[in-house]
Amino acid sequence: MRDLTTWFKAKIRQKQIREERIYSYHSSTEGDKHIHSEVEINKQEIRSIFGNTADLHTIGIRVQGREGMLSYLSSTIDLQMVNQIFMEPLSDLDGTESEIDNDEELERYMQTSFSGKKYVMASTLNQLTWLILSGYVVVCLDGMTRAVALYCPQKSQRAIEEPTTQTVIKGPKEGFTESAEQSITLIRKRIKNPKLRFEPFQLGTETHTSIYLAYIEGIINPAILQEVRKRIQSIHTNAVFDSGMIEEFITDKTMTPFPLVFNTERPDTTAANLISGKAMIIVDGSPFVLSMPATLNDFFQISEDYYQPFMMATFIRFIRYIAFLIALIMPAAYVAIITYHHELLPTPLMISIMAQRESIPFPAVVEVLIMEFTFEILREAGIRMPRAVGMTVSVVGGLVIGQAAVEAGIISSIMVIIVALTAIASFVSPVYSFSMAARLLRFGLVILAASLGLYGVMLGLFFMVGHLNSLRSFGIPYLSPMAPFILEDQKDVILRLPVFSMKKRPTSNQPADVIKQPNAHSPTPPQKEGT
Amino acid sequence: MRTDFVEKISLSQFFLMIVIFQLGTAIVIGLGQSAKQDAWISVGIATIYGVLLIFAYCFMLSLLPGKGFYELLKIAYGSLLSRILSYFYVLYFLYIAARVTRDFCELLTTAIYPKTPIEIISLSLALMCCYFLYQGIEVIGRSTEILFPYSAAFLILLVIFLFINRSFHSENLRPVLEFGWGPVFQAVFPSMLGFPFGEIVALTTVMVAVTRQDYLTKVGISAVAAAGTILMIFTMINVSVLGVDMIDRVEFPLLSTIRDISIAKFIERLDALVVFVMMLGIWLKVCVFLFAALKGMESITLIPYRNFVFPIGLLVSSISVFIAANFAEHIEEGLVAVPLYLHIPFQIGIPLVTTVILLIKVRRRKGEKKHEGLDNVVQSEN
């Protein structure tokens, strides 16, 4: 046993060494080559780096009688902007007396005529390549060993729309878009605080995707922040296209159906999470922002809870927990009762169910599994199909799952009710990734129920509780503040008490600064006489 | 496996663990049937004994703070003798774990699943407990915290339903002390000493993990008192609903009691709730006994206990099937042989002797320390 583990460790280490070698090769080959003073050589170098890609442009220019080269990727820059802020001052240069003879003079010139604009002086080819890739226009001049790069990025992003998941009735309707910069803007708009930080990182050895770690200094627990940083830095991946792709790299445990990282499309939820002492990860190219550490009750709360009267919010929260339980155990309980525990149902109800099941050729479990699978297929089809054929699937699905199956005598009509209720209940969870857990565990529970009855269901639930308790998200127990029980936090878990009663931040995140709004108090309208 | 942090349980978790541990099987199987309508008095007396016992255990552990039960054995008896004793304790805990498993299997096979083989139930239960043990005592403590509210809610609900159903017949509880104190004490000694209150001995292995050791005794005593009170109330309820004659004949009084409920012909047959309450208790008991046994094995072999979890769990599941041919034999063993030959030495005898030895050793060490202190003072003056 022990030999095996050491063997595995050695294997993993070997793999790491091999990978490190590959990475170092990638980063060192083109690097450290200085820009040549002859433009023609630089041009060839750039050409050879980018190959014959269509969007690379290397245009010859003349500045003060000096040969030069303008180089950019037309896909990453805004040409109009280049003409406006770059070409015009450059062409003006010919008329002036000031000479640009060496690198220092070039830099001085840049400082005077491009002050306020984002520009970089590059000295190596590696740098140059990277600048061209990230939306800079590069100018090389003959006789200069440094090149000027000006930032003219192309701003192609969709407009801010209402988020498609986690929608609310009352509350802000803005949602993140794929542009990280816009996401940062939306967050900054909500939290005007100098302590709000966005730490840049770059991930993906092949895609070089920029991601940002957002947090509020002084509120977040420094140990958690350090852990998040460490985990981001230890990601070795070649490509990142969505925040979901880095989620698996940073969770504490991947062998679990439950999400250990919260994700949201809503700036107000993000802001609220930041304020309560969480770290957020914004990935360029993904509208979903990750939030950590996450606990189970985060997935039952939504920003709208705080925009509604507290009684209503508490009631709705309660409904969500119940709905989760229904989505989880309803089919299993049905199978258990029909197969083993007839006596648990009142007699008239039992008789009516039995009468319906008279003509059904399958045992209850097969019936449940058929229907659940059918529903899952319909659901997946509903998401993936082209919008145009949407009607077809819903009509066919409605008929197959409902009327026709009952009339054909394949399933009982009570089964349709069970499946429908389960399906509806599974949509109540405000966070999509959490309702998936119920979807998956449901099948396990159905099989347990079929083999051991209600005892099997209880067994499954005990297992689930044990599993949930063994989970941690960035060191925070997943079921806190229920277990370990924290009385302070109960104001905002299943209940949602009035906002003024929450004078402290939830301590389950272990924030560095616990006090939230010490002077908050209930409204004090003028009292009636005699009270 | 993470070994970099110490597993801890909070005081509230510890409290709930004791309560559920005590209620566990006792609330469903029923206590002190031989005392007839005065069973609740026997339970009350046994509760006082339980409080004294947990006080004694806490006192023993407080002699050398931070040391577990097996470590105390080692300190008290030396390497060889402590190993032998630990070995016997391991066997004892395993046997009790198997007995508890058997209790549950009997409840399920007789009351709910007459056709299911007993092996399946015991195996599934043992595997579940193994999973929890593998996750550690912290997870067990937290899961207790999560599951307890349901158990408590179900019990309260049952009482309310019985009340609405007008099932209570207080005349069943009278006359009080019809046959004098004799039968009452007979019910207490010796059977009720070992079960349920004496079984706290297994919790001594858990007590080290409690965060606030200074409150250990207080919390322990209040938990045992609370559990005893609940048991007393439910003993009274059972007798007042079923009557003395029925109590003697039924195997699981609480189950029979709640079958009396029939409200509006809709709320009836609430067996599932009782089974849940029972299952929670059984789960915790098996977990704690197994944990105690595994910790003992850890202290004997010095190998982390998680390596033993699954083999030992499977062993317990098979022992639970083999220990008795049928339910009557199982109960007979539990009432006659186990209290006398197992419970009394392991729950009272050895801990008592250990406490005395430790007390002497600690006193002596303190004396030595004082001397050392004096020497130091003398030296510094020179």
Mean pLDDT lowest among A192-206, A415-429, B239-253, B360-374: B360-374
What single-letter amino acid sits at B183?
P
Give residue A98's pLDDT band: very low, low, confident or very high (50, 70, 90).
low
CA distance A482 to chain B (A): 7
- Flag whether A245 is in a domain: yes
A208 lies in the same domain as A237:
yes
| A467 in the same domain as A337 | yes
Task: Average the pLDDT over A401-405 and give the result.
Answer: 76
Identify the band that residue A17 occupies on the pLDDT scale cut at 50, 70 and 90. Answer: low
Angle at B290 between CA B288 and CA B296, to 5 degrees: 105
Q: Does B131 touch chain A (CB under 8 A)?
A: yes
CA distances from A518 to A494, A500, A502, A504, B214 (A): 23, 9, 9, 7, 32
The answer to whether residue A91 is domain-embedded is yes
> Phi/psi at B171 (nearest 5 deg)?
-65, -20
Of the listed ranges A108-117, A486-495, A522-531, the least confidently predicted one is A108-117
> Do A275 and A250 reside in the same domain of the chain?
yes
Could you give the CA distance from residue B183 to residue B175 in angstroms, rounded to a whole number?
14
In a domain, A254, yes or no: yes
Candidates A470, A476, A478: best to mutate against B (most CBs of B within 10 A) is A470
Which residues of chain A from 274 to 333 reach within 8 Å of chain B, CB to CB?
none
Indicate yes or no: CB of B108 within 8 angstroms of CB of A455: yes
Pair A85, A55 in one domain: yes
B266 with A465: Cβ contact below 8 A: no
Range list of β-strands (E), chain B: 262-263, 267-268
Has residue A365 been placed in a domain?
yes
How many structural domains compose chain A? 3
Q: Do A92 and A185 fall within a single domain?
A: no
Instruction: Find the mean pLDDT for residues B108-133.
Output: 91
A30: pLDDT strictly greater than 50: no
Domain annotation covers residue A391:
yes
CB distance B231 to B192 below 8 Å: no
* Average pLDDT taken over every residue of chain B: 87
pLDDT of residue A319: 93
Looking at chain A from residue 329 to 368, which residues have their Cβ under 8 Å from any Cβ of chain B?
Answer: 340-341, 343-344, 346-347
Chain A residues within 8 A of B12 when measuring between CB atoms: 485
Nearest partner of B283 among A328, A485, A450, A458, judged by Cα: A458
Do residues A89 and A231 both lie within one domain?
no
Q: Do B146 and A479 touch (CB under 8 A)?
A: yes
A224-228, A457-461, A520-524: least confidently modelled range: A520-524
Provide the pLDDT confidence category of residue B19 given band limits of 50, 70 and 90.
very high
Asked if B276 lies within 8 A of A458 by C-beta distance, the reply is yes
Residue of B nearest to A463 (CA): B128
The CATH T-level fold of domain B11-381 is Amino acid/polyamine transporter I (1.20.1740)
Q: Are residues A277 and A343 in the same domain?
A: no
CA dist B93 and B308 (Å) reads: 15
- pLDDT at res. B229: 94
pLDDT tens, A269-324?
999 999 999 999 999 989 999 998 999 989 998 888 899 899 999 999 999 999 99
Could you tell me how many CB contacts below 8 A there are between chain A and chain B? 79
Instruction: Please give the single-letter amino acid code of residue B251.
Output: E
- Across the interface, whether the CB atoms of A454 and B265 are under 8 A apart is answered no
- Cβ-defined contact of B112 to A465 (cutoff 8 Å): no
**B132 at interface of A, judged by CB pairs closer than 8 A:** yes
Q: Cβ of B124 and A459 within 8 Å?
A: yes
In a domain, A435, yes or no: yes
Q: Which residue on chain B is closest to A456 by alpha carbon?
A: B124
- A314 and A290 fall within a common domain: no
Residue B9 has pLDDT above 50, yes or no: yes
Task: Kindly state whether residues A256 and A352 are assigned to the same domain.
Answer: no
Shortest Cα distance, chain A CAs vs residue B223, angstroms: 17
Give residue A91's domain range. Answer: 39-151
Residue B148 touches chain A, beta carbons under 8 Å: no
Q: Which of A483, A476, A479 is nearest to A468 (CA)?
A: A479
Q: pLDDT tens, A174-191? A: 999 998 989 999 999 999
Domain co-membership, A317 together with A287: no
Residue B136: pLDDT above 80? yes
ipTM of the complex, rounded to two decimals: 0.91
**Helix, strand or coil for residue A222?**
helix
Q: Indicate the SS3 state at residue B210.
A: strand
- Domain contains A392: yes
pLDDT digits (tens, 9 = 90+) for B138-168: 999 999 999 999 999 999 999 999 999 888 8
Assess if residue A278 is contained within a domain.
yes
| B242-268 average pLDDT score | 84
State whether A144 and A262 are in the same domain: no
B272 touches chain A (CB under 8 A): yes
Judgement on whether residues A121 and A48 belong to the same structural domain of the protein = yes
Please give, rounded to a whole number of angstroms, the shortest distance from the CA of B372 to a CA of chain A: 43
